[in-house]
Amino acid sequence: MKGFIRIYKADPVFWSVLLIMLTASGVSLAIFSAKDIFFKLNTIHTLYLDTFFQNYTLLGDGVVSIAIFLILLLAERTALAMQVITGYLFSGIMSQILKHAVHAPRPHAIISHLEYPYFIEGITNTGMTSFPSGHTTSVFALAALLALNTSDKRISLIYLITAIITGYSRIYLGQHFLADVVAGALIGVLSALLVYWYLRQVRIEWIGANKESHLQFQ
């Protein structure tokens, strides 16, 4: 618990904005139905926004996390690179387990074109793999890990805003309900915190053991 408090104090703006966003979403989910929230969040649609969000949503694709992992390796930031790839894999596994266990319908599976004319042909999926949002899980795990490893609070806030917009893109494109996105954000952030704590702990223990063996050798 002390570790989480220390993390919060290190970047209160990032964690406060995240908590406000999650709390507001939770209140909305408690008051309104999933379909009502979906419609309220999708009142404005234009061709420009369609194109923008179709491209922006790719930030939640696993290819982005893998690319950042490789860039960090090339930049010799091995510790952060290992956090990023481990966070991506761990959060992804958790997301896939829940998807196949819950079998929640995607919006297009229960909402017709007559109710909602903005589904995009060739983009919007149907089926029973809506909960949680995998793209949101991935991007929040990445954003949280990058934020945990930067001392610049402005940059960490940019990471969070980027993740939030990516999460919204999943709703705009008709791929997920708000509950799917919120669950994805929670899984991503919690995965990032666990990976951050565990890998740092392993690294500290490894360095400590290395120093001890070096002293004994001397």
Q: 59-73, pLDDT tens digit by residue?
A: 999 999 999 999 999
Dist. CA 218–CA 59, nearest whole Å:
50
Cis geometry, peptide bond prior to residue 132 (ω within 30 degrees of 0): yes
User: Whose structure tokens read 């995998």?
Assistant: 134
Tell me which residue range forms the domain holding 10: 2-217
In this model, does residue 206 exceed pLDDT 80? no
Taking alpha carbons only, the member of 13, 14, 54 closest to residue 140 is 14
* pLDDT band at 8; cut points 50, 70, 90: confident
pLDDT at 212 over 90: no
Cα Rg of the chain, angstroms: 19
**Cα 148 from Cα 4, distance rounded (Å):** 11
What would the mean pLDDT of 21-32 be, rounded to a whole number? 97
The whole-number pLDDT of residue 4 equals 75
Q: Is the pLDDT of residue 213 over 70?
A: no
pLDDT > 70? residue 218: no
| Predicted pLDDT at 214 | 39
Predicted local confidence at residue 203, as pLDDT: 61
The chain-wide mean pLDDT, for the chain, equals 90
Distance of CA 80 to the CA centre of its chain: 17
Q: Which of 119, 128, 111, 144 is nearest to 54 (CA)?
A: 119
Residue 109 has pLDDT above 90, yes or no: yes
* Token pair in block for residue 47: 């061709």
- The CA-CA-CA angle for residues 109, 175, 165, to 5°, reads 155
For the whole model, what pTM was predicted? 0.91
CB 57 within 8 A of CB 133: no
- Which range has the worst mean pLDDT, 7-11, 84-88, 99-103, 212-216? 212-216
Better-scored residue on pLDDT, 126 or 82: 82
Task: Summarize the confidence of residues 1-13 as an average pLDDT.
Answer: 82
Structural domain count of the chain: 1
**CA–CA distance, 179 with 199 (Å, rounded to integer):** 30
In whole angstroms, give the CA distance from residue 90 to residue 133. 15
How confident is residue 7, by pLDDT bands cut at 50, 70 and 90? confident
CA 191, chain centre distance (Å): 9
pLDDT tens, position by position, 145-175:
999 999 999 999 999 999 999 999 999 999 9
In the chain, the percentage of residues whose pLDDT exceeds 90 is 80
